[in-house]
Amino acid sequence: MTETVIVLLIGIAIGWLGYLIYHDITERKRAEEALQLSEQKRRQAQRLDAMGTLAGGIAHDFNNILGAILGYGEMALRDAPAGTRLRRDLESILTAGERGRALVDRVLTFSHSGVSARIPIHVEKVVGEALDLLGPKMPEGILLEAQLSAGPAAILGEPTQVHQVLMNLATNAIQAMPAGGTLAVLLEVFHSECARPATVGNLDVGEYIRLTVTDSGVGISAEIMDKIFDPFFTTKEAGVGTGLGLSLVHGIVMDLGGAMDVSSRPGAGSTFTVFLPRSGDALEAVENLVPKLPGGNGEYVVVVDDEEPLVKLAARTLEELGYVPVSFTSGIAALAAFRDDPQRFDAMITDERMPRISGLALIREVRGLRRQMPILLMSGYVGGGLLERAREAGADDVLKKPLSAHDLATGLARVLQK
């Protein structure tokens, strides 16, 4: 009996020891998994921070280029007679510039894990504008056929997203027809009667705006069909494509809650069909006379930007608005002029990213010399706490680059309390 008890106790002890060992291993494994997850999140955060820094630099340089395009385009448009080809061409340039501005905003939003504001988009209008840009650049031997019949149907999103989807699909189709062919674009309203899986995403019951892009090119083989949406995957030779086009389309369609079907046969072309959830109708644009912009009464305004074309553009715009601009391409030179006569100037507009002294540092120095004077800060990216830092430095307001004449006029009027 005693031996039985001893054996039983030994068995219990061994079982308990096994449980403890198992529990210890399990807890250790969980701790290791938690540590790995934490490390993974830390590395991801570092990558996003690095991407945000890179995107901020790109946005600064690209917004400066766009600022010159949009600014001088606006000036030329004011002198272009209505109904002329010149005016239509200038309007197309400004539309393309605005698309570029929105694209920079999307890059910044993505890199900083932000969420863009969504508005009702008149899809047919955006697709029509994109086709107008695409038409003159069509290679010889390729015929563009377009049928747009979606009417006022709208989606919730950004115009740039629709523009990118069409342009990337069209560019991909054109590259698939090296010997020429036909590019067909169809836009229509579609009602899905039943839910089904699509090549990308799922098509639910409901109303969609359906965009179909078809080419008569080389087609896609079954072997690579499941790879075409992978980032940087391309079958083209070096220098012809990046492999990002379809990946961007995939991301946008998923972001908009849509779906996409792909059908293709080698040698018989390909068809990409995009379904975007409809969100009612777009409001009709009302043509109004351009309101008169608020102007100045000879106030002296300091303009500081290290990009000389932007300084000249801002100076011309301010002169037309009735101000007296005093321009500098160096923050150090602007600060020296201000130290010589702090009461000479009535307002200041300065860029944020400049060599030697930043806009925020310049504002702090100016505030140390004169506490009360309207100051506007300009920046290509106004997120990441910049608004708070600008207020702390002494800026009255922050304007987002690239600036239009309307932005400059209303911004100055606001801080001058006109």
Residues 158-193: tens digit of each pLDDT: 888 898 899 889 988 898 898 889 999 999 999 999
Phi, psi of 226 (to 5 degrees): -80, 0
Asked whether residue 250 is assigned to any structural domain, the reply reads yes
pLDDT tens per residue across span 323-378:
999 999 999 999 999 999 989 999 999 998 888 899 999 999 999 998 888 999 98
Let me know whether 254 and 310 are in one domain. no
Query: Are 180 and 305 in the same domain?
Result: no
Residue at 244 is within a domain: yes
Q: Give pLDDT, residue 187.
A: 96
pLDDT at position 19 is 64
Of 415, 404, 409, 417, give the one whose Cα is nearest residue 321. 409
For 94-106, the pLDDT digits (tens) are 777 777 776 666 5
Average pLDDT over residues 28-38: 71
Average pLDDT (44-58) is: 58
Q: Looking at the 3D structure of the chain, how many domains does it have?
A: 2
pLDDT at 58 over 80: no
Give the domain CATH number at 385: 3.40.50.2300
Same domain (yes/no): 270, 305: no
Among residues 244, 277, 310, the one where a domain terminates is 277
Per-residue model confidence (pLDDT) at position 287:
46
Residue 25 lies inside a defined structural domain of this protein: no
80 lies in a domain?
Answer: no
Let me know whether 122 and 221 are in one domain.
yes
Residues 182 and 233 in one domain: yes
- 100 found inside a domain: no
262, part of any domain: yes
| Domain edge (last residue) among 216, 242, 277 | 277
CA 11/CA 185 separation, integer angstroms: 77
CA-based nearest residue to 359, from 281, 367, 112: 367
According to DSSP, the β-strands at 259-264 and 270-277 are antiparallel
Tell whether 129 and 169 lie within a shared domain.
yes
Domain boundary among 226, 245, 277: 277
3-state secondary structure the chain: CHHHHHHHHHHHHHHHHHHHHHHHHHHHHHHHHHHHHHHHHHHHHHHHHHHHHHHHHHHHHHHHHHHHHHHHHHHHHHHCCCCCHHHHHHHHHHHHHHHHHHHHHHHHHHHCCCCCCCEEEEHHHHHHHHHHHHHHHCCCCEEEEEEECCCCEEEEECHHHHHHHHHHHHHHHHHCCCCCEEEEEEEEEEEECCCEECCECEECCEEEEEEEEEECCCCCCCCCHHHCCCCCCCCCCCCCCCCCHHHHHHHHHHHCCCEEEEEECCCCCEEEEEEEECCCECCCCCCCCCCCCCCCCCCEEEEECCCHHHHHHHHHHHHHHCCEEEEECCHHHHHHHHHHCCCCCCEEEEECCCCCCCHHHHHHHHHHHCCCCCEEEEECCCCCCHHHHHHHHCCCEEEECCCCHHHHHHHHHHHCCC
Does some domain include residue 314? yes
Residue-averaged pLDDT of the chain: 81
- Looking at the fold, whether 263 and 307 belong to one and the same domain comes out as no
Q: Residue 223: inside a domain, yes or no?
A: yes
Q: Over the stretch 387-413, which tens digit does the pLDDT of each residue have?
A: 888 898 889 998 888 878 888 888 898
Q: Are 327 and 267 within one domain?
A: no
Domain range for 225 is: 117-277
Both 271 and 308 in a single domain?
Answer: no
pLDDT above 60: residue 45? no
- Please state, in angstroms and rounded to a whole number, the distance separating the CA atoms of residues 418 and 410: 9
Which range is least confidently modeled, 119-128, 157-166, 222-231, 385-394? 222-231
Considering the domain architecture, whether residues 323 and 400 belong to the same structural domain is answered as yes
Same domain flag for 141 and 218: yes
CATH number for position 203: 3.30.565.10
Same domain, 243 and 314: no
